[in-house]
Amino acid sequence: MGRITLDKVTKSFGDIEVIPPLDLTIDEGEFVVFVGPSGCGKSTLLRLIAGLEDVSSGQIRIDREDATHLPPAKRKLAMVFQSYALYPHMSVRKNIAFPLKMAGMSKEEQDKRVDYAAQVLNLSDYIDRKPGQLSGGQRQRVAIGRAIVREPAAFLFDEPLSNLDAALRVNMRLEISELHTKLKTTMVYVTHDQVEAMTMADKIVVLQAGRIEQVGSPLELYRAPRNRFVAGFIGSPKMNFITGEEAAKHGAHEIGVRPEHLQPSTESGMWKGTVGVGEHLGSDTFLHVHDTGLAETITVRASGEMALRHGDTIWLTPEADKIHKFDAAGLRVE
Amino acid sequence: MARKVTTQRMAVNTVVAWVIGLLIFFPILWTILTSFKTEAQAIADPPIFLGFNWTFENYIEVQERSNYFRHFWNSVVISVGSTLLGLVIAVPAAWAMAFVPGKRTKDVLMWMLSTKMLPPVGVLVPIYLMFRTLGLLDTKLGLVIVLTLINLPIIIWMLYTYFREIPGEILEAARMDGATLRGEVVHVLLPMAVPGMASTVLLNIILAWNEAFWTLNLTAAKAAPLTAFIASYSSPEGLFYAKLSAASTMAIAPILIMGWFSQKQLVRGLTFGAVK
């Protein structure tokens, strides 16, 4: 249960093609994250799978069954929306029971399932409240509860955490990951936040302008990005890109070095520069280095605390085996 | 300093608001006062404001001369009936325009509203002839139909505005949850639109209650509502201002009282969407 296959799926709005022909297979029980900058078509792709948008051409199969033209309710999928999309006039219990009621399930079975979901999601104390009386995190849990009671073939999440504050987001991230381990149901998750993608996914699908740039596990994408776009998108802070002479030395049009693969030193090193802004997080220090003659700014990550100030001189040395090389078209060269 | 200016401003605004409010209310107040005067006092020159002998004579006479309650009942049936019928047609129409808009949806809305800008007398003859052929003249059913048609653009337009405020994601969630179109409208859309529906209903009842052109032209005796009841006091033998005022007061009292109790809902409803 829960294998989703997209076969040459396209989507156009009027004359504008937002998804050019696209193939993708999401395996049973997988946690797949669609990630990309805003407007890359990741939400549209999710809505095509959900059936909330019609495909322009191509085929969508869910568990080997052609679902291309099935209405959303018939696809055995459950969706959690960015705005939670709870029914404001219904109590938490009624919200969670709504899909069961629509399916014509008996009252006892409804109650049994709602109570179970409420217990799993720690909602039992709020079961008779209205959504307006809940915090953002609680609302999100109700939305998830409404999705799990249906025992769907797959869950679809459309940027579910972007309305939450940073601390809560981390918690909910863990909760969703735990839920996935517990339920072992396929999950398709859309986000623009690469940290969410890296921490939650079994498989990441990086999208740009409706095209799939790369599909792979988080560490595959981190270690071997297929092109410059993926290299720049995955990893935080962003990879440093260097062109010109220094790149030519490595036989490439452009090279990329992640901030964590640069060794900073106050005494010696390969590249000399001046410290600009320093971000001191305690566990890490991010330094923005200028005047290296390589790029406008080079970001470097030092582990722990580093007592460097604005204007200090710094030397940077890249780890030789961690340098990524790209050709003029932006594709990876080995 | 700044505070002083604000206080002065507040005072001026308050006075202006009161003056405007009293100006608007004055004709109603005058009608009510006149209804308690004798016919001679009612046409006295200079007019008497408060210093007259209060009398209930006009009310008693109006009650003796005509059957107030039958007209009242006709008004209730016509205004409530046309509002309910209007909702049955307007809810699906507004749903379609709010959630599945086409290229021409805005044009359709404007076109519907533009029908309100035509003088109704332009279609009086065809409608009169149609009603005569169909046997709808002087029937409550006929008035319910004609008032539904007259006010439908306003009901659709108001519901459309409320529906547009409801996030589409919630309806999509209902669709994902297995709701049919009917389930989506009955269980999700309508309960969420209750405040908007309430003010639409109230406004429409008021408009239908006050409608005088069609109710006067298409009724004679049986289906005549309160507007016809008032008009019957402007007789060709000369106006009886005090009796006319008493009849008017009795006709507007129910709707005035209803409006008074629901003004919060009405104001909220009419400014909905304007201020977010």
Assign residue A250 the CATH number of its domain. Answer: 2.40.50.140
Which of B231, B226, B230 lies closest to B205 in space, CA to CA? B226
Residue B239: pLDDT over 80 = no
Asked if residue A231 is part of any domain, the answer here is: no
In a shared domain, residues A214 and A246: no
In a shared domain, residues A148 and A241: no
d(CA A168, CA A173): 8
User: What is the radius of gyration, based on Cα positions, of chain A?
Assistant: 23
Residue B222: pLDDT over 70 = yes
Angle between helices A107-120 and A136-148 (to 10 degrees): 130
d(CA A285, CA B227): 81
Hey, how many other C-beta atoms are within 10 angstroms of the C-beta on A290? 16
In a shared domain, residues A97 and A212: yes
Residue type, A128: D
Tens place of pLDDT for every residue, chain A, 334 residues? 689 999 999 999 888 889 999 999 999 999 999 999 988 999 999 999 999 999 999 999 999 899 999 999 889 899 999 888 999 989 999 999 999 999 999 999 999 999 999 988 888 899 999 998 998 888 988 999 999 998 899 999 999 988 888 888 888 899 899 999 988 999 999 999 999 999 999 999 999 998 999 999 999 999 999 999 999 999 989 999 999 888 888 889 999 999 999 999 988 889 999 999 989 898 999 999 998 888 889 999 988 888 888 899 999 999 989 999 999 999 999 8
Asked if residue A13 is part of any domain, the answer here is: yes
Q: Which residues does chain A have within 8 Å of residue B174's beta carbon, measured at their own beta carbons?
A: 87, 98
| Residue of chain B with shortest Cα separation from A70 | B176
In a shared domain, residues A220 and A279: no
Asked if residue A318 is part of any domain, the answer here is: yes
Q: What's the whole-model pTM score?
A: 0.78
Q: CB distance from A72 to chain B under 8 Å?
A: yes
The tokens describing A260, both together, are 């964590």
Q: Are A263 and A299 in contact (CB under 8 A)?
A: no
- What confidence score (pLDDT) does residue B50 get? 80
Asked if residue A135 is part of any domain, the answer here is: yes
Which of A240, A279, A264 lies closest to A314 in space, CA to CA? A264
Residue B237: pLDDT over 70 = no
Residue B24: pLDDT over 70 = yes
| Burial zone of B266 (CB within 10 Å; 0-12 exposed, 13-18 middle, 19+ buried) | middle
User: How large is the ipTM?
Assistant: 0.82
Asked if A98 and B177 come within 8 Å (Cβ–Cβ), the reply is: yes
In a shared domain, residues A99 and A214: yes
Residue B264: pLDDT over 80 = no
Hey, how many other C-beta atoms are within 10 angstroms of the C-beta on B55? 14
- What confidence score (pLDDT) does residue B238 get? 65
In a shared domain, residues A141 and A213: yes
The tokens describing B88, both together, are 């049955």
- What confidence score (pLDDT) does residue B273 get? 45
Strands of the sheet with A262-265, listed across from one edge: A262-265, A313-318, A271-280, A284-290, A298-303
| Burial zone of B209 (CB within 10 Å; 0-12 exposed, 13-18 middle, 19+ buried) | buried
d(CA B145, CA A125): 52
Distances (CA, A) of A294 to A69, A206, A246: 53, 28, 7
Q: CB distance from A113 to chain B under 8 Å?
A: no
CA atoms within 13 A on the CB side of A8: 2
Helical H runs in A201-294? 218-223, 228-233, 245-249
CA atoms within 13 A on the CB side of A267: 0
Neighbouring residues of B101: CB distance < 8 A, sequence distance ≥ 6: none
User: What is the radius of gyration, based on Cα positions, of chain B?
Assistant: 23
Q: How far is B271 from chain A (nearest CA, A)?
A: 22
| Residue of chain A with shortest Cα separation from B186 | A102
Geometric angle at alpha carbon B240, from B235 and B241, rounded to 5°: 125
The tokens describing B47, both together, are 């007019």
Average pLDDT of chain A, as a whole number: 91
In a shared domain, residues A166 and A114: yes
Instruction: Name the helix (H) or strand (E) containing A8.
Output: strand A4-13
The pLDDT-based confidence of B2 (bands split at 50, 70, 90) is low
Asked if residue A237 has a cis previous peptide bond (ω within 30° of 0), the answer is yes
In a shared domain, residues A110 and A244: no
- What confidence score (pLDDT) does residue B274 get? 42
Q: CB distance from A13 to chain B under 8 Å?
A: no
Q: Which residues does chain B have within 8 Å of residue A79's beta carbon, measured at their own beta carbons?
A: 172-173, 176
Q: Are A55 and A32 in contact (CB under 8 A)?
A: no
Domain range enclosing A144: 4-226
In a shared domain, residues A45 and A161: yes
Q: Which residues does chain B have within 8 Å of residue A139's beta carbon, measured at their own beta carbons?
A: none
| φ, ψ dihedrals at A82, nearest 5° | -60, -40
Asked if residue A108 is part of any domain, the answer here is: yes
Asked if residue A200 is part of any domain, the answer here is: yes
Strands A31-35 and A186-191: what pairing?
A: parallel
Neighbouring residues of B272: CB distance < 8 A, sequence distance ≥ 6: B161, B162, B165, B195, B196, B199
Asked if residue A180 is part of any domain, the answer here is: yes
| Residue of chain B with shortest Cα separation from A96 | B177
For the stretch B82-138, pLDDT in tens is 999 999 999 999 999 999 888 899 999 999 888 888 888 888 999 999 999 999 999
Q: How far is A118 from chain B (nearest CA, A)?
A: 18
In a shared domain, residues A36 and A129: yes
- What confidence score (pLDDT) does residue A31 get? 96
Neighbouring residues of A64: CB distance < 8 A, sequence distance ≥ 6: A3, A5
Residue B40: pLDDT over 70 = yes
Distances (CA, A) of B205 to B83, B85, B89, B138, B252: 6, 12, 16, 20, 13
Going from N- to C-terminal start, the domains of chain B cover 66-232
Q: How far is A87 from chain B (nearest CA, A)?
A: 7
For the stretch B144-154, pLDDT in tens is 999 999 999 99
The tokens describing B157, both together, are 């337009």
Q: CB distance from A104 to chain B under 8 Å?
A: no
d(CA B208, CA B143): 10
d(CA B178, CA A196): 29
CATH number at residue A68: 3.40.50.300
In a shared domain, residues A90 and A131: yes
**Long-range CB contacts for residues B140-144, cutoff 8 Å, separation at least 24:** B140/B74, B140/B77, B140/B78, B140/B81, B140/B223, B142/B218, B142/B223, B143/B78, B143/B82, B143/B214, B143/B215, B143/B218, B143/B219, B143/B223, B143/B225, B144/B77, B144/B78, B144/B81, B144/B82, B144/B85
**Domain total for chain A?**
2
Which of A331, A324, A273, A326 lies closest to A300 in space, CA to CA? A273
Q: Which CATH number among 3.30.420.10, 1.10.3720.10, 3.40.50.1820, 3.30.43.10 corresponds to the domain B66-232?
A: 1.10.3720.10
Residue type, A127: I
Candidates A46, A48, A79, A140, partner chain B, best to mutate (most B CBs within 10 A):
A79
Q: Per CB distance under 8 Å, which residues of B are interface residues toward A? A: 167, 169-170, 172-180, 183, 187-188, 191-192, 194
Average confidence (pLDDT) over B208-228 = 87
d(CA B124, CA B130): 10
Q: Are B170 and B107 in contact (CB under 8 A)?
A: no
Asked if A98 and B172 come within 8 Å (Cβ–Cβ), the reply is: no
Residue B272: pLDDT over 60 = no
In a shared domain, residues A30 and A94: yes
d(CA A94, CA A87): 9
Asked if residue A232 is part of any domain, the answer here is: no
Residue B276: pLDDT over 60 = no
Q: Which residue has the tokens 């929306």?
A: A81
